[in-house]
Structure 1
Amino acid sequence: MATSSLSKLMLSPTSMSPHSPVTHRPNISFITFPNSRSQLSATQLRKTKNTSRSFTAFCSLGAANDPKGDTPIELRYAAFPTVMDINQIREILPHRFPFLLVDRVIEYNPGVFAVAIKNVTINDNFFPGHFPERPIMPGVLMVEAMAQVGGLVMLQPEVGGSRDNFFFAGIDKVRFRKPVIAGDTIVMRMTLVKLQKRFGIAKMEGKAFVGGEVVCEGEFLMAMGSE
């Protein structure tokens, strides 16, 4: 039985000799994995000298070790729950554009605590001036956003706060841990620590997080009035 020309080439002594000249080099694929989870993994595909094209594909952190790697990233993470949407927030807080800095409440116990989010986008009106070349959310607006979450806790019948007579009275021990930039989602927790109804003063503790890391924290004083 006649053998194919390919088989003859593979089995011939000339093709097996280590001194035989190489007439063709196949395309080579290089795969680079990260040394740590803090680096991006990349796959680089390079072609022969005949073409100068190259392709680099980047994936998210730790994707090589992700057990859910077969699931598209847009389906991998659940959204924050909605306990109170923006329309319900507007019914409680008197703030309006451009100073309403709470987008959604994700956990809530009236008169005790509230957890809410603020989606930071490049379209926020403060970014053109703070700063044009490096957009960072002003710290005072982070504090204001947290105070508004505190307002959601206090402006309830259980507490007796009045929407028309509710004021931000003071701050103490405020620290800014990391900058907040466009694209971040701030998760803010405000907890009532002490309430003096006789004087209409409430003390609250607040923390703001981005990606599970504290970006701002402090103590807040709220002044309440009756209807």
Structure 2
Amino acid sequence: MAEEKLDLSFLLSKEETATISHDEVLSTILHRPPFLFVDYVKVIEEGKYFLGVKKYSGEEDFFKGHFPGMPVMPGVLTIESISQCAGAALMRGIENKVPLFLSIEEAKFRSVIKPGDTVCMPFKILRFGKISRIYAEAYANGALCTQGYFNYILTDKK
């Protein structure tokens, strides 16, 4: 089933109505450093539009090996960063559930993320329920880096 092509770049300049703080992110998803790839999430329109933010210092371990002399963030970690932002938004106000990444569709990698970049990840919740779906993009220095459709299953937190 083909979905309409989305462009979420307009969210980059929108003011937030609320913020999912770093502490709230930690209370809604199970990830912890060194595998935490979200600083905070801006709520643009509750239940619909969000913008995740992560600043990369360049000191992260993955930059050391990917690639020496030309460090770039692995695309799979960009996907993980988007997924963590979405997880924090999906679980906002919900207890005893956790979103598990189910699948990604139409993933595209368009440009690189480098040490020192702040990555902005606008996303739209397309469906919320036991099976949830979002469309998301990631931008660094104004350039589209990654985009795709993400699916999650909400399961009991154990």
Interval containing the TM-score (normalised by the shorter chain): 0.7 to 0.9
Q: Does 1:202 align with 2:132?
A: yes
Deviation at 1:93, TM superposition (A): 1.6
Tell whether the 8 Å contact from 2:41 to 2:89 is kept in structure 1 after alignment.
no
Size of the aligned set, in residue pairs, is 142
Q: Distance in 1 between matches of 2:96 and 2:103?
A: 18
What SS does the aligned partner of 1:183 have?
Answer: coil
What's 2:144 paired with?
214
Q: Does 1:192 align with 2:128?
A: no
Deviation at 1:106, TM superposition (A): 2.9
- Give the structure, 1 or 2, with the largest relative contact order (CA under 8 Å, sep 6 or more): 2
Q: Distance in 1 between matches of 2:34 and 2:71?
A: 17
TM-score computed with the length of structure 1 as normaliser: 0.57
Deviation at 1:186, TM superposition (A): 0.4
Change (3 A) 1:152 1:113: farther
* Residue identity matched to 1:139: G
5+ residue gaps, structure 2, are: 1-14
What's 1:86 paired with?
22
TM-score computed with the length of structure 2 as normaliser: 0.80
More strand by share: 2
Q: Does 1:156 align with 2:86?
A: no
Choose from 69, 93, 100 the match for 1:167.
Answer: 100
Q: Distance in 1 between matches of 2:87 and 2:36?
A: 12
Q: Distance in 1 between matches of 2:44 and 2:24?
A: 13
Change (3 A) 1:178 1:106: same
Q: Distance in 2 between matches of 1:213 and 1:136?
A: 14
Larger radius of gyration: 1
What's 1:3 paired with?
none
Deviation at 1:226, TM superposition (A): 4.2
What SS does the aligned partner of 1:132 have?
Answer: coil
Deviation at 1:138, TM superposition (A): 0.2
Q: Distance in 2 between matches of 1:122 and 1:170?
A: 29
5+ residue gaps, structure 1, are: 1-79
Listed one character per residue, the Cα deviations across residues 165-208 of structure 1 (whole Å, up to 9, x for unaligned) are 4200000101111011001110001211123x3xx101110011
What's 1:122 paired with?
58
Give the RMSD, CA atoms, in angstroms.
2.1
Deviation at 1:212, TM superposition (A): 2.2
Deviation at 1:110, TM superposition (A): 4.3
Choose from 34, 39, 56 the match for 1:98.
Answer: 34
What SS does the aligned partner of 1:208 have?
Answer: strand
Q: State the identity as a percent.
A: 27
Listed one character per residue, the Cα deviations across residues 37-93 of structure 1 (whole Å, up to 9, x for unaligned) are xxxxxxxxxxxxxxxxxxxxxxxxxxxxxxxxxxxxxxxxxxx98823322221222
What SS does the aligned partner of 1:144 have?
Answer: helix
What SS does the aligned partner of 1:142 have?
Answer: helix
